[in-house]
Structure 1
Amino acid sequence: MIRRLKACLNGGRSRAEHPAVPVTAAELARDAAQAVAAGAEAVHLHPRGPDGAESLDAADIGAAVAAVRQRCPGLAVGVSTGLWITGGDVAARHAAVARWAGLPAGRRPAFASVNAGEDGFAALTGLLGAAGIAVEAGVWSPADAERVAGVPVDRILIEVLDAPAAGAVAAADAILGRLDRLGVTGPRLLHGEDDACWPLVAHAGRLGLPTRIGLEDTLVTDDGRPATDNAALVRRALRVWSAQRERR
């Protein structure tokens, strides 16, 4: 269970965006270990292929997961299933993820995120569940909340994207409210990207919800300074989250 924070180490970012973005399996393992030492309870990765591009290929997934587990035994390691990784090809994504079931336990992800607004959402959640991989449903809007209702998932990720800092909390509350009205229960994690990131780390603390942080979500700390690496973001986020939590 994630009680406070999950680290999102790289996403689709490149080193051109930030020199500390981990790309290789070894770099992901190094950053995972540093994030855990800083207080992260789980990690979310976007494994890469030999060309450095995001990959859903079982060999690339397995290599990244195994490298992290070697450095961090027992750590919950999750990956993305973003449809953009297969260029929007639903069938290709489904086929790639189906091959994860054949990975040895030590190379198979503990969980995977599936965006509710993407085509093939429900079918992919079933495929992952059958492989023993927990499902995080990415809910980006109140409309996505409607799509996830009735679909068995293990955690809801309330994800606020492309929102200004001033509107981040209202956007998150709109999604949370729709989930409540739909009767969608179970664990939730709240986070935002870029300008919405830090306001929602704080809001998650106020609500007592876990959050996530890492170079996937932001390249700056809460005071607007450039982040040095994932571990530094984890330390800052835990301070912000805990300070808001203590005020309740």
Structure 2
Amino acid sequence: MTSNPKHTLRPLPSVMVAPNGARLNKADHPALPETVAEITATALACARAGADGIHAHVRDQDGNHTLDAGLYRELLAELALTVPAMQHQITTEAVGRYSPDQQIDLVRSVQPALVSVSLAEMTSDGWTSQVEDFYRWCDDSGIAVQHILYSPDDLGELVRLCSQGRIPATRLQMLFVLGRYGQGVPSTPETICGFLQLLPQLASEPDWAVCAFGHSETACLRAAERLGGKIRIGFENNTVNENGSVARDNAERVGQFISGRSSS
């Protein structure tokens, strides 16, 4: 299979905004975007604030997370018109609702330039030929897969699969997730070191980023940048600014993080 000419694999954005996620809604914050129009407007505001990428979830008519290929195609088309300089990443997040086959079907249908894929979710039914074919197809098609890793153990599993040739080991992109939604697992900057200790086991140096939850999000993201990583920021994980105030919107989170770099 030859590479897809419409996709040119680029490095991860330095600041990727995650404006909505799969779990929160307008009851959590009225500025959380849910419709295609709202997500697109948020992307534009965040681009003006300094974000160079967006990690987007689409919602159904009731505001619920969905892996709807049609909605993703609509969103990507709007983002291409409105913020063409940004990188546009879709998600395959299961949230306990979608199987690996459904996640794979979404990516094959939409064929995005960038997609985030949780290794733990994709292998929840075990390592199958369909999963292996999916990762190889993405690599052959020039689709940038950002491997979502919830713990150093997940990274250890990725290292193992890469060493066995089951997942392409070049041009690896990763997201280290610090903490958990509502599980009492705090986000701490020190957690990053557990991931970084495993990176020398890979055949090539990966492109990595970090996301974190709650009030400690900013401290974790600043630590990631100091260690050479990139960041994912936004209402998917946290709605509170570094000074403890509730952010007006995603663009304020982005802008305040970027403006605070000089003093961190």
Match of 1:198 in 2: 218
Would the alpha carbon gap of residues 126 and 56 (structure 1) be closer, same or farther in structure 2, given more than 3 Å must change? farther
Task: Tell me, yes or no, if structure 1 residue 115 matches structure 2 residue 115.
Answer: no
Equivalent position of 1:105 in the other structure: none
Alpha carbons of structure 1 residues 77 and 3: separation in structure 2 relative to 1, 3 Å = closer
Mapped partners of 2:190, 2:240: distance in 1: 22
Q: Distance in 2 between matches of 1:184 and 1:160?
A: 23
Identity between Structure 1 and Structure 2 (%): 26
Is 1:93–2:111 an aligned residue pair?
A: no
- Give the AA of the match of 1:30: A
C-alpha distance in 2 between matches for 1:214 and 1:202: 14
Q: Of the candidates 4, 12, 16, which is equivalent to residue 6 of structure 1?
A: 16
Task: Using the TM superposition, give the Cα deviation of residue 123 of structure 1 relative to its aligned residue in structure 2, in angstroms.
Answer: 4.8
Q: 1:235 maps to what in 2?
A: 255
Alignment of 1:164 onto 2:167: no
Report deviation, 1:114: 0.6
Structure 1 residue 19: deviation in Å? Answer: 0.5
- Number of residues paired by the alignment? 234
Give me the whole-angstrom Cα distance separating, in 2, the residues matched to 1:79 and 1:164. Answer: 26
1:26 pairs with 2:37: yes
Which of 176, 198, 208 lines up with 1:178 in the alignment?
Answer: 198
Q: Does 1:143 align with 2:161?
A: no
Q: Determine helix, strand or coil for the equivalent of 2:122.
A: coil
Unaligned runs of 5+ in 2: 1-10, 124-130
Structure 1 residues 239 and 125: alpha-carbon distance in aligned structure 2, compared to 1, 3 A threshold: farther
| Cα gap change, 1:51 to 1:130, in 2 (>3 Å) | farther
Could you say what the CA RMSD is over the residues aligned between the two structures, in angstroms? Answer: 2.1
1:211 counterpart = 2:214: no
Structure 1 counterpart of 2:155, which letter? A
The question of whether the paired residues in 2 share the 8 Å contact of 1:191 and 1:197 is answered with yes
Classify 1:41/1:82 alpha carbon distance in 2 versus 1 (closer, same or farther; 3 Å): same
TM-score w.r.t. length of structure 1: 0.85
Q: How does 1:219-230 map to 2 (within 5 A)?
A: 219-230=239-250
Corresponding residue number in structure 1 for 2:59:
48
Q: For 1:117, what is the secondary structure of its paired residue?
A: helix
TM-score, length-scaled by structure 2: 0.81
Residues of 1 paired with 2:217 and 2:110: CA distance? 31
Per-residue deviation, residues 131-189 of structure 1 (Å, max 9, x unmatched): 43211011111111122221225411111123425xx1221111111223445622111
Q: Quote how far apart the aligned CAs of 1:235 are.
A: 0.8
What's 1:82 paired with? 93
* Matched letter for residue 108 of structure 2: A
